Each structure stands twice: as structure tokens, then as C-alpha cells.
């Protein structure tokens, strides 16, 4: 199955953290098909913390969405992510944004990612590598969602 994953880091060596997460995904047999540029992004909900580095990748994995979520949580833990307050600074954050046309709404997993259409730090890198992909619930292309998003937070391309 093909997925779009969001990666973020705002602690430590942010660029290296993203690189290390991608390497761990590869080591787990996940094929990275496309990668967005790196972006420096303003914290959205808790502004009194370091800015993030964010990236979106398209991957192919033999895992179900639930299995992939478990693997992402395992990689986060392995990389030193601590269980802390929601929206707290973190060394690594790995999220499933989209899973082809799959829609899942469970307590543990929501796909498409909740608030995807309201988050520039995800929409801008996602629209870089998947502008024509259609949000499976809203039925709107990603590039159009990025154009109409009301999010005013700063997202600067690094590369």
C-alpha cells in the first residue's frame, strides 16, 4: 500500500533526526518513493517552543495502516521520543497523512490525518510532491486545499 507520511522535529539536530527516521523506515522494509523538500515551520498550537523542520514522503509498505502506525510509534520511541504533554517539543514526530483512498476513524488511528486540510506545515510539503492527489473525504485536490487553507503560520523551504 502507498502512504504519505509527515515527519517533524523541533528538538536537537532536526535535519539529522528526519534523516535518521527515513533510514529507520528503509531498514524496516519501507520503500521511499518521493520526498518533499525540508521546511522550517512555525509551531502551530504552542508558539512558545522551537520551530520545526517538517517533510512529507510518499512510501510503499507491506503493512496495514494499523501495523504501520505501530511501527512509526516504535521508531519514535527508539529515537528517544518521550511520552509527554500533547503538542510538546519533540525530537521526532511521524504521522500517517494518507493511505491511498482509505478512510479510517478509530480511537487509535484516523486517516486522512485529522486537520490535514488546516495545517500549512503538512499541506505545503504534501502539495510539492502530490498536488493532484485527492483528499478521500473532502474530495478536493491537495494543491487546492493548500491554496484555500486559512492557516497563516510560516512555512519556509530550506532546500
Q: What is the pLDDT of residues 7-35, one digit of tens each?
A: 999 999 999 999 999 999 999 999 999 99
Kindly compute the dihedral angle of the four CA atoms of residues 121, 74, 10, 108, in this order, to the nearest 10 degrees.
50
What pLDDT, on the 0 to 100 scale, is given for residue 84? 64
Q: What is the pLDDT of residues 117-137, one digit of tens each?
A: 999 999 999 999 999 999 999
Structural domain range at position 75 = 2-157
Q: What is the pTM of this model?
A: 0.96
E strands, the chain, where? Answer: 2-9, 31-35, 39-41, 52-60, 93-99, 104-105, 110-111, 155-157
The CATH number of the domain holding residue 46 is 3.30.70.560
14 CB-contact burial (10 Å; exposed 0-12 / middle 13-18 / buried 19+): buried
Chain centroid to Cα 112, Å, comes to 11
Total domain count for the chain? Answer: 1
Amino acid at each position: 500500500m502507498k502512504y504519505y507520511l509527515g515527519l517533524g522535529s523541533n528538538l536537537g539536530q532536526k535535519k539529522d533526526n528526519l534523516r535518521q527516521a527515513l533510514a529507520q523506515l528503509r531498514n524496516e522494509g519501507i520503500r521511499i518513493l518521493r520526498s518533499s523538500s525540508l521546511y522550517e515551520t512555525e509551531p502551530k498550537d504552542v508558539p512558545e517552543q522551537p520551530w520545526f523542520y517538517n517533510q512529507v514522503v510518499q512510501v510503499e509498505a507491506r503493512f496495514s495502516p494499523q501495523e504501520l502506525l505501530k511501527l512509526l510509534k516504535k521508531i519514535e520511541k527508539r529515537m528517544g521520543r518521550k511520552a509527554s504533554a500533547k503538542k510538546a517539543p519533540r525530537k521526532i514526530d511521524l504521522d500517517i497523512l494518507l493511505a491511498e483512498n482509505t478512510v479510517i476513524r478509530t480511537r487509535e488511528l484516523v486517516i486522512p490525518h485529522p486537520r490535514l486540510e488546516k495545517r500549512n506545515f503538512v499541506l505545503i510539503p504534501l502539495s510539492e510532491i502530490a498536488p493532484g492527489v485527492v483528499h478521500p473525504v473532502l474530495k478536493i485536490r491537495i494543491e487546492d486545499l493548500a491554496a484555500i487553507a486559512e492557516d497563516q503560520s510560516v512555512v519556509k523551504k530550506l532546500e
